[in-house]
Amino acid sequence: MRVVVDFDLCESNAICMQIAPDIFEVRDDDFLYVLDETPSEDRRSNLEESVQRCPKQAISIEE
């Protein structure tokens, strides 16, 4: 699976980073970085939670 972030929507509020810090990181420059674009299958539930919790619906998963 592949993590896709719509950076036009993302407002860098770092919710996803708290849920999956190994996948998402909001750095000191206030931008979100995707650390792992193709996480392994065992990260799915965390990733799905990030998708749901993102207030901007900026994250999606491509299979």
Partner 1 sequence: MHSSITIVGASLAGVRAAEALRTEGFKGNIKLLGDEPHIAYDRPPLSKSFLEGEMASEKLSLLTTEKINELKLEIRTDSKVSNLDIETQTLEVKGEVEEFDALIIATGARARKLPDTEKINGIHTLRSLDDSIKIRDSFKAGNPKVVVVGGGFIGCEVAATASTLGIEVTVVESQDVPLSHVLGEEAGKVISELHIDNGVQLKCGVEVQEIKGEDKVEGVLLEDGTLLEADLVVVGIGAVPNTEWLENSGLTIENGVCCDQTCLAAPNIVAAGDVARWEHQGYGKSIRLEHWDNAAEQGKHAALRLLQTEAEALPYAPIPWFWSDQFDRKIQLAGISDPEDDFEVIVDSPGEGRYTAIYGNEGRLKAVLGINRPRHVMQFKSLMENKASWKEALEFARGIG
Q: Footprint of partner 1 on this chain (CB under 8 A)?
A: 11-15, 17-18, 26-28, 30, 52-53, 55
Q: Nearest-CA neighbor of 31 among 17, 47, 51? A: 17
Q: Which among ligand SF4, partner 1, none contacts residue 44 (Cβ within 5 to 8 A by kind)?
A: none
Question: Side chain identity at 33, as an amino acid letter?
Answer: Y
Q: Where are the alpha helices (DSSP H) in 1-63?
A: 15-19, 44-53
Q: Which residues bind ligand SF4 (CB under 6 A)?
A: 5, 10-16, 24, 26, 32, 54, 56, 58-59
Task: Please state the closest distance from residue 2 (CB atom) to ligand SF4, in A.
Answer: 15
